[in-house]
Amino acid sequence: MKKKRVFNTIPTKLTENQFNEFVLPHLKKGDRGPDKKVSFYKLFNYILMLMHTGCQWYNLPIEKTESNKPEIHYTRVFKSFKYWLHHGCFDKIFESSVLRLATNKMLDLSVIHGDGTSTCAKKGVII
């Protein structure tokens, strides 16, 4: 019998339960300053949307409040992204997801392809 190929897509939005279980434990919270007006869940989903669509930060479709103003300015989403990137939060999320897949025997190494940056070569000669 022919094996059916399954194509998984990158998520463009997480549910709040998925976010709380897989992402929130790895996000660094600021030590100082006032509480956030928008939850980390919404901020992270805005970042996922931006990564999926490839739009510019200022074109990010941010929800409006009752007074017809954006609930958060796009620069705040960008600053949160840079903060989490600087503190290695996205690396931790990736590492924990790979570890979870490997632990549950769901990681298929036969479909992982390198992009050539890990090829051992010096001046075109394979070592």
pLDDT in tens, 12-26: 789 999 999 999 999
Burial 87-120 (b: 16+ CB within 10 A, else e): eebeebbeeeeeeeeeeeeeeeeeeeeeeeeeee
Which residue in 111, 81, 77, 79 sits closest to 93, CA to CA?
Answer: 81
The answer to whether residues 97 and 22 touch, using CB atoms and an 8 Å cutoff, is yes
What pLDDT is recorded for position 59? 95
Indicate the pTM of the whole model.
0.76
Which residue positions in the chain have pLDDT lower than 50?
A: none
What pLDDT is recorded for position 72? 94
